[in-house]
Structure 1
Amino acid sequence: MKDAKQHILMIDDDEDDFFLVNSLLQDVAPNQYHVEWCPTYETGVAAIERKQHALYLVDYRLGRHTGLDILRHFQHIGYEAPVIVLTGKGDYAIDNEAMMAGATDYLVKGEIGGPDLERAIRYSIMEHKHLQTIAENERKYFGIFEKSHDLIILADCNKNIIEVNPIARKKLQYPREELLKMNLKDLFMMEAEALQFLLDICEENAITQKEFTFKTQNGQKLDVLVNASKLDEKLGTFLCVAEDITDKKREELEKQHQEKFVITGRIARVIAHEVRNPLTNILLAVGQFKQDMPTAQEDAQLYLDIIERNCTRINHLVTEMLQSTRMMELHLHEMDANEMVHKALSLSEDRLQLNGIRLKEDYMEEEVKLLVDEEKMNIALLNLFINAIEAMTPDEGVLRISTAHENGKVYIRIADNGIGIPEENKARLFDPFFTNKTKGTGLGLTSTQNIILNHKGTITVESKIGEGTLFSIILPVA
């Protein structure tokens, strides 16, 4: 049968005091406590290190040592237990010093009866258990806070940030001190979203599984799925838990691009087949008619030339469409990412100078290898550089190019301060023959996307009217 008694260790150099304490406890609470005795500091320390007792009664005077030395030993070995210090006479200074050193209570011998002694012991043991439970919960929840894979942000009643977990600091790329100076609304990419978030959290008191866009310190987009609620009604504190879904959304977009690419290619092949057959017949007929036609009929010759020239143009467009939507054969080799961008950029140097475009470059310091078809990547990047140059006002344009290496992928970002792309056009931007240029074929970006997809990469676009456009290419590291 399990021993239900509370085991107490009394460290006191006076045996009479030990018998008195033991007798008082047995009178008040028989069979509830088992008191053991250590007469010296040394034996007491040895017994403490066994960590077998629910509570310790420690005399303040222990020869050349004191009860404070015992309390310091508890701290030295990292052992938390309830300790009641006993002394022969009351002394506020000793009382205060004992409590500061970690004593649970301070009692004066001769001034305390059995019921008071038992109550002090019982309350000390109960309080210690409660504190242990609280500490354990704190450790558990602090562990969740520290090790969570989600961004956890605490804010006060004014929505000012008061604490963030490590993953939030890492994802947002801010030091903790900077974040603690910010407001929740400062985390959002778009002001309208921030205002809606603050409105919802104040009116509904909870936000569940809503998508928002945060921004990092470097201005990069962070797609998040947010759960937020009021943590404490009286204090008005808020808890915001955000799951980073940037990669998940990127993967969904990659899948959509791949599916769209396959469908577009299939349609292109059908169109090519259906258009080329009659075109071939028309060209053959025109060629035959021109051979048999009398040379004097100049008007007929003119019209036949127009027919032939436009049939050839249609045939050429069909060929371009097929090439821009077909899985291509790549001649891959390893190449430094920065070098690849530099080489493609050098091909647009004349256009940059002619249009008075300022160039701002920000390349990663490390050398990161990509597995690429250099010729085709030159085409893809050059298309983006030319589009950016043409979108900007001469002598006012700024072309920003940067590279970065994150999580086994290289990010190539190409940003301009041009006219921007209307929202309704973004979804069609990579479609064959979609263009806003008067002389464009609308196949440049289709071809660019095809090249990137064939390199197992992705390309995304962000744009605001009047502010400019950002193309982001993401490629796997070799």
Structure 2
Amino acid sequence: MRGGKYNRMKDTYKQILMIDDDEDDFFLVNSLLQDVAPGQYHIEWASTYDKGIEAIEKKDHELYLVDYRLGKYTGLDILRHFKEMDYEAPVIMLTGKGDYAIDNEAMMAGASDYLVKGEITGPELERAIRYGIMEFAHLRAIAENRKKYFGIFEKSHDLIILADCNKNIIDANPIAEKKLQYDRDELMTMNLKHLFLQEVQALQFLLEICEDDAIVQKEYTFKNKHGQKLDVVVNASKLDEQLGTFLCVAEDITEKKREEQEKRQQEKFVVSGRIARVIAHEVRNPLTNILLAVGQFRLEDALKEAEDSQLYLDIIERNCTRINQLVTELLQSTRMMELRLQEHPVNQLVNKALALAEDRLQLNGIQLITRLAGEHATVMADDEKMNIALLNILINAIEAMEPGQGVLTVSTEETEGKINIYITDNGAGIPEENKARLFDPFFTSKSKGTGLGLTSTQNIIINHRGNIDVDSTVGAGTQFTITLPRASAPLP
């Protein structure tokens, strides 16, 4: 019974191991400690280097008192063994009087403190042990927090960026480097404002973070190294008031927004198709009757002699035919089509469309810049229909630019099971109120356009299980982005 009580009391003690080949020194140290702090510490004794190593291997003690001289070994050998084990614990070295070089060497080797034999007092011994245990616990907590922080920093799926008081970037996690397509050294030369696609947003962000010290769940548009946009939701705040450092965490929602837009486009496309079929049915029947009536009138003898009547009949017939043609085009531009899908290198499709647009490019003095992905980037496509879609966009881009001043940039990119085609011009741009209606049937800003070209283009892309997106700034230009499933990626 007494043994059980002793063991329970022992469990409440701070466990200390003393490695010393002099039993008198052990007795003295133990007595001093029990006199100053009775019932708080339990000291075990290892009388040799080997016994000390054996006890250390068990990792049962919170602190180690180690004599510097241990026969043919030294306390430094004990410290080296700690490192070989990759075991961290506070070690107080016991040295002889005047061994200042040894004291310094012990501290450099990893000892937390040293005490001089013959000069040790009870309070000094207890304080050194208590501080050694407390400091080690504190340092271990800091190390664990640092490890946890760097784990979050390195492995986070969000962009994490640190900036100094001048908003210059001082650190960024790997995902930020990947998403922004800058290497670390490049990011370290940039300011937070350089991340934004639009200067107005950058100035607004910097103003708000300085006034409010925090930005919570606010949406912005970043740009990567190549000028391509990233839609992000940002949380930003001051990290250290004295240093003035800022923490910016940005969630990339580009793909989420793309999927939402794709869903809206498909829903809109279905509705447009239904409307087109209703219009075709309701308009074609009266048109057929009108054309039949016109045919009958032409057979009338009285009307044959009247020139004006023939002129009016021609006008009626010609416009009825035109209306019928527009209805047919509307149906074709909104109907789910049968595709002859084959695997094609995306660059081959792009180059074929560019070859057909070459005359227009030369006549208008347009400079062409291409940045194409490797030939391994392939898509499943109906090359004829995809050629129509690409050519429609290329022609729109050419017509939007000033002759002799236009720059057309066409690039392809492979990303995570998708192939992106970017067609960018430096033309007049599209007003914000027109962007939402860009793919609507019969919507056009051209004097002679039918407004069905982009509707047909969108239909072709959607039928290829793809998506088309438009980003435009008035006075700066427009970028069309076509996203298609990579050939090896299964179609949804």
Provide the TM-score with structure 1 as the length reference: 0.97
The AA in structure 1 aligned to 2:43 is V
The AA in structure 1 aligned to 2:282 is E
Distance 2:60 2:147 in 1: 24
Distance 2:338 2:73 in 1: 86
Are residues 1:313 and 2:283 paired? no
Conservation of the 8 A alpha-carbon contact between 1:338 and 1:403: yes
Match of 2:352 in 1: 343
Are residues 1:170 and 2:178 paired? yes
Match of 1:388 in 2: 397
Cα deviation for residue 419 of structure 1 reads 2.0
Conservation of the 8 A alpha-carbon contact between 1:11 and 1:41: yes
Conservation of the 8 A alpha-carbon contact between 1:200 and 1:207: yes
Cα deviation for residue 92 of structure 1 reads 3.2
Secondary structure, counterpart of 1:49 in structure 2: helix
Are residues 1:281 and 2:272 paired? no
Match of 1:255 in 2: 263
The 5 A counterparts of 1:358-377 are 358-377=367-386
Secondary structure, counterpart of 2:305 in structure 1: coil
- Residue 339 of structure 2: which of 325, 330, 338 is its match? 330
Are residues 1:246 and 2:245 paired? no
Distance 1:415 1:173 in 2: 20
Deviations 1:315-354 (A, max 9, x none): 1011101111111121212111111112222222222222
Are residues 1:28 and 2:36 paired? yes
Structure 1 gaps of 5+ residues are none
Structure 2 gaps of 5+ residues are 1-6, 488-492
Distance 1:292 1:9 in 2: 124
Match of 1:466 in 2: 475
Conservation of the 8 A alpha-carbon contact between 2:347 and 2:375: no
The 5 A counterparts of 1:85-96 are 85-96=93-104
Cα deviation for residue 393 of structure 1 reads 2.2
The 5 A counterparts of 1:23-422 are 23-294=31-302, 295-422=304-431
Conservation of the 8 A alpha-carbon contact between 1:404 and 1:411: yes
Cα deviation for residue 282 of structure 1 reads 0.7
Are residues 1:451 and 2:468 paired? no
The AA in structure 2 aligned to 1:408 is G
Deviations 1:2-58 (A, max 9, x none): 421222111122222112112222222233322222233333223222212111111
Conservation of the 8 A alpha-carbon contact between 2:345 and 2:375: no
Distance 2:294 2:117 in 1: 124
The AA in structure 2 aligned to 1:321 is L
Distance 1:248 1:466 in 2: 29
Conservation of the 8 A alpha-carbon contact between 2:95 and 2:103: no
The AA in structure 1 aligned to 2:460 is I
Distance 1:23 1:465 in 2: 86
Deviations 1:144-202 (A, max 9, x none): 12211111111122212222111111111111222122111111111110111111111
Secondary structure, counterpart of 1:459 in structure 2: strand
The AA in structure 2 aligned to 1:132 is R
Secondary structure, counterpart of 2:230 in structure 1: strand
Match of 2:3 in 1: none
The AA in structure 1 aligned to 2:269 is F
Deviations 1:430-468 (A, max 9, x none): 111111222111100010001001111111111222322
Distance 2:244 2:396 in 1: 50
Q: For this pair of structures, how many residues does the alignment match?
A: 478
Cα deviation for residue 366 of structure 1 reads 4.2
The AA in structure 1 aligned to 2:295 is G
Once the two structures are overlaid, the 10-residue window that deviates more, 33-42 or 254-263, is 33-42
Distance 1:203 1:37 in 2: 62
The AA in structure 1 aligned to 2:37 is A
The AA in structure 2 aligned to 1:426 is K
Cα deviation for residue 213 of structure 1 reads 0.6
Secondary structure, counterpart of 2:439 in structure 1: coil
The AA in structure 2 aligned to 1:328 is M
The AA in structure 1 aligned to 2:78 is I
Cα deviation for residue 293 of structure 1 reads 3.5
Conservation of the 8 A alpha-carbon contact between 2:401 and 2:427: yes
Cα deviation for residue 63 of structure 1 reads 2.6
Distance 2:192 2:398 in 1: 37
Are residues 1:442 and 2:451 paired? yes
RMSD: 1.5
Deviations 1:125-156 (A, max 9, x none): 12111221221122122211221111111112
The AA in structure 1 aligned to 2:285 is N
Deviations 1:270-322 (A, max 9, x none): 22222111111111100110012443211211111111011100110111011
Distance 2:225 2:356 in 1: 33
Distance 2:446 2:53 in 1: 88
Conservation of the 8 A alpha-carbon contact between 2:165 and 2:245: yes
Deviations 1:58-113 (A, max 9, x none): 11122333222222221222111000001121343322222221111110011111
Distance 2:455 2:119 in 1: 93
The AA in structure 2 aligned to 1:93 is A
Distance 1:157 1:139 in 2: 25
Secondary structure, counterpart of 2:153 in structure 1: helix
Once the two structures are overlaid, the 10-residue window that deviates more, 211-220 or 86-95, is 86-95
Distance 1:420 1:122 in 2: 72
Provide the TM-score with structure 2 as the length reference: 0.94
Distance 2:395 2:207 in 1: 43
Distance 1:52 1:185 in 2: 54
Conservation of the 8 A alpha-carbon contact between 1:457 and 1:473: yes
Conservation of the 8 A alpha-carbon contact between 1:338 and 1:367: no
The AA in structure 2 aligned to 1:177 is D
Are residues 1:15 and 2:23 paired? yes
Conservation of the 8 A alpha-carbon contact between 2:17 and 2:65: yes
